[in-house]
């Protein structure tokens, strides 16, 4: 009785099947062993239990097509006598084969013993499969799955020409068995794109070490099963066959050319080192770090390097971001390093504490390192800590150097970071002093904060007066700067003293000056602040202006016009009076 084949496809969990499958049904009467097949299998150290298994093992080894054999008794439905195969995608790369609700095999990985045919089996279902080896290897890497010999062959790369494997198997079986093949097959095909590699004749010649014509490269590749998609005088585009999954780039192509040309036919040459200019984002970041490190050490800071881990309780105490428990470290290296740090400062304060215990009196430190936010997203920061004496003991200070203060700390930061502005602090954490802190502004953007260490924290760590700063490193990456022409005409400095309210900060005045549309006004900065009883609730602020023209030497009328516009604007928006 011939069996009617029906194929049932069930797709679950990860969606589509990502393997090519072909099933054929055959009826066997008898089979006999072949000494030649046994001998050849013994030469490659492959063992098989019976003549039928020997033919399958030999065909798989010869053609490279992965073949499995099932006893049809496992698949037959008792109601309608159909062979029903259920193929289910559990996840990407893991495809299960079921029969009558029972697990039979995992494509390319393993097969249940009870589904394998015996010498008395009369009906067998033959499976030819192909799955991307990289996909399979990644899928089974961390899973405790039972694997057989075919798993190794599949993960190393198999032949995708399933028709070729089945045809050769039919040829072998017709020689050594009495077999009847049922018409048709059950197929599952996946549309996949072949890898494309662009081959440059000059680059191939440079890699190989001798000049090789592009036409010869094309001939070699075609004979190896590659398809030439396009070609010109210097380059060709080739499509890699599926069974050559090891070919990814032009270096792999060069290896194939060397194999065919013969390495002994390549003339020996002296070794030459040719360095190429490789400027990219990585090198730019390295240069920026190196530049900051050199400046920091030049003004007396010492670089410290700490773990990316820190103590969770410390971050929680001082109000920094914490990872949710689902993203926490599964196996901390130490009890006090049980989470990823969201700030560099906690570890640096620990370093300050250790240095104090070593009797150090001046402790200037900096670190460039990685921090993580509450979503475990990674970013880089640069942090500075200065504790204790502002300078070393010397004759100049009579052995009693002053303690570090806000002004001295900011001056040292300026020597490292360059020009920046300070605005009222908007950051909130337990390390920041409520009255001696500020946002650090570079090119109009807030890039971090500078502050005196909170007295409570200073007391908890038992360290002297300490100042801290933590900044986003991205703000110090090199930026494209458009060059501006330099005037060849002489400029003029003019001082302006105004009387304003004591509560008015200079940066409020600077914002007003910045809004002026005066092309002759190039620069301005404060040089003096004065208060006395006569001024009462007012203060005197002296600002120095630099005025210059790109087109001519300034006349007195030009200078007066600029200064008049400045004074009128300050009177209108800052209630300023001329002193």
Pair 122, 179: CB distance under 8 Å: no
Pair 154, 58: CB distance under 8 Å: no
3-state secondary structure of 512: helix
Sign of CA dihedral 132, 138, 143, 149: positive
Sign of CA dihedral 107, 113, 114, 119: positive
**What stretches in the chain show pLDDT beneath 50?**
1-14
* CATH fold for domain 4-188: Phenylalanyl-tRNA Synthetase; Chain B, domain 3 (3.50.40)
Residues 6+ apart with CB under 8 A from 251: 207
Quote the strand ranges of 389-465, DSSP E: 421-424, 432-442, 445-453
- Of residues 182, 179, 259, 172, the one with CA closest to residue 220: 259
CATH class of 196-265: alpha beta
> Whole-prediction pTM value?
0.53
Burial class (CB in 10 A: 0-12, 13-18, 19+), 398: exposed
- The structural domains of the chain, with segments of one domain joined by +, span 4-188, 196-265, 282-476, 492-578
DSSP state of 328: S
Q: Which residue has the tokens 């700067």?
A: 481
pLDDT score for 143: 77
Distance CA 47, CA 210 (A): 45
Q: Which residue has the tokens 């090119």?
A: 443
Q: Give 91-125 as a 3 state SS string.
A: ECCEEEEEECCEEEEECCCEECHHHCCCCCCCEEE
430-439 per-position pLDDT tens digit:
999 999 999 9
Distance CA 224, CA 240 (A): 10
Which CATH code, of 3.90.1150.10, 3.40.50.10440, 3.30.70.380, 3.10.20.80, is assigned to 492-578? 3.30.70.380
- Of residues 50, 25, 24, the one with CA closest to residue 37: 50
Q: Which residue has the tokens 């700030």?
A: 343
Q: What CATH number should be reported for the domain whose range is 282-476? A: 3.30.930.10
150-163 per-position pLDDT tens digit:
888 888 888 888 88
175-199 per-position pLDDT tens digit:
888 888 887 777 788 787 888 899 9
Distance CA 341, CA 329 (A): 11
Q: Which residues of 452-469 are buried (b: 16+ CB within 10 A; e: fewer)?
A: bbbeebbeebebbbbbbb
Pair 151, 169: CB distance under 8 Å: no
- Of residues 101, 121, 133, 103, the one with CA closest to residue 56: 121
Q: What percent of the chain has pLDDT over 90?
A: 40
3-state secondary structure of 502: coil
Burial class (CB in 10 A: 0-12, 13-18, 19+), 34: middle
Q: Which residues of 200-216 are buried (b: 16+ CB within 10 A; e: fewer)?
A: ebebbbebbeeebebee
Q: What radius of gyration do the chain's Cα atoms show? A: 39
Pair 180, 225: CB distance under 8 Å: no
Distance CA 463, CA 358 (A): 12
Distance CA 235, CA 295 (A): 48
- Of residues 266, 250, 248, the one with CA closest to residue 212: 266
Q: Which residues of 45-74 are buried (b: 16+ CB within 10 A; e: fewer)?
A: eeebeebbbbbbbbbbeebbbbbbbbbbbb
- The string of DSSP codes covering 533-558 is GGGTTEEEEEEEEEE--SSSPPPHHH
Task: Read off φ and ψ for residue 64, nearest 5 degrees.
Answer: 80, 0
pLDDT score for 15: 54
């Amino acid at each position: 009785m011939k069996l009617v084949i029906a194929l049932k496809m069930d797709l679950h969990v990860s969606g589509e099947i990502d393997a090519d499958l072909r099933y054929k049904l055959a009826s066997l009467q008898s089979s006999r062993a072949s000494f030649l097949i046994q001998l050849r299998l013994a030469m490659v150290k492959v063992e098989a239990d019976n003549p039928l298994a020997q033919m399958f093992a030999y065909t798989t080894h010869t053609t490279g097509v992965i073949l499995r054999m099932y006893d049809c008794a496992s698949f037959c439905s008792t109601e309608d006598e159909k062979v029903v195969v259920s193929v289910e995608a559990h996840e990407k790369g893991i495809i299960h084969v079921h029969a009558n609700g029972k697990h039979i095999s995992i494509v390319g990985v393993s097969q249940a013993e009870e589904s394998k045919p015996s010498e008395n089996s009369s009906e067998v279902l033959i499976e030819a499969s192909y799955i991307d080896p990289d996909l399979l290897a990644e899928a089974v890497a961390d899973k405790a799955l039972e694997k057989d010999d075919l798993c190794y062959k599949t993960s190393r790369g198999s032949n995708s020409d399933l028709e070729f494997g089945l045809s050769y198997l039919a040829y072998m079986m017709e020689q050594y068995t009495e077999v009847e093949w049922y018409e048709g097959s059950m197929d599952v095909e996946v549309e996949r794109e072949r890898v494309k590699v662009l081959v440059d004749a000059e680059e191939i010649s440079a890699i190989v070490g001798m000049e090789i014509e592009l036409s010869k490269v094309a001939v070699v590749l075609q004979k190896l099963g590659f398809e030439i998609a396009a070609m010109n005088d210097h380059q060709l585009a080739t499509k890699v066959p599926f069974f050559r999954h090891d070919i990814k780039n032009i270096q792999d192509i060069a290896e194939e050319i060397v194999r065919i040309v013969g390495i002994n036919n390549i003339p020996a040459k002296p070794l030459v080192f040719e360095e190429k200019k490789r400027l990219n984002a990585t090198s730019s970041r390295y240069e920026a770090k190196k530049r900051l490190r050199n400046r920091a050490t030049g003004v007396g800071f010492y670089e410290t390097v700490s773990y990316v881990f820190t103590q969770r309780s410390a971050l929680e105490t001082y109000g920094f971001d914490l990872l949710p428990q689902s993203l926490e470290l599964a196996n901390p290296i130490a009890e006090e390093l049980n989470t990823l740090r969201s700030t560099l400062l906690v570890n640096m304060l620990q370093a300050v504490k250790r240095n104090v215990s070593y009797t150090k009196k001046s402790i200037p430190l900096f670190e460039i390192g990685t921090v993580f936010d509450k979503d475990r997203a990674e970013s880089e920061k640069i942090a500075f800590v200065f504790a204790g004496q502002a300078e070393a003991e010397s004759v100049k200070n009579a052995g009693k150097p002053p303690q570090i203060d806000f002004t001295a700390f900011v001056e040292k930061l300026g020597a490292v970071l360059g020009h920046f502005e300070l605005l009222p602090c908007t950051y909130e954490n337990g390390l920041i002093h409520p009255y001696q802190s500020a946002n650090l502004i570079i090119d109009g953007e807030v890039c971090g904060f500078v502050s005196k260490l909170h007295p409570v924290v200073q007391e908890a760590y038992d360290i002297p007066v300490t100042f801290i700063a933590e900044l986003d490193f991205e703000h110090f990456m090199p930026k494209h700067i458009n060059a501006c022409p330099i005037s060849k005409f002489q400029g003029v400095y003019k001082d302006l003293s105004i009387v304003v309210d004591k509560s008015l900060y200079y940066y409020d005045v600077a914002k007003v000056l910045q809004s002026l549309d005066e092309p002759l006004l190039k620069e301005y900065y404060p040089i003096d602040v004065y208060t006395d009883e006569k001024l009462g609730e007012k203060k005197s602020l002296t600002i120095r202006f630099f005025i210059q023209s790109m087109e001519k030497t300034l006349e007195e009328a030009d200078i007066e016009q600029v200064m008049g516009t400045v004074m009128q604007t300050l009177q209108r928006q800052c209630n300023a009076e001329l002193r």
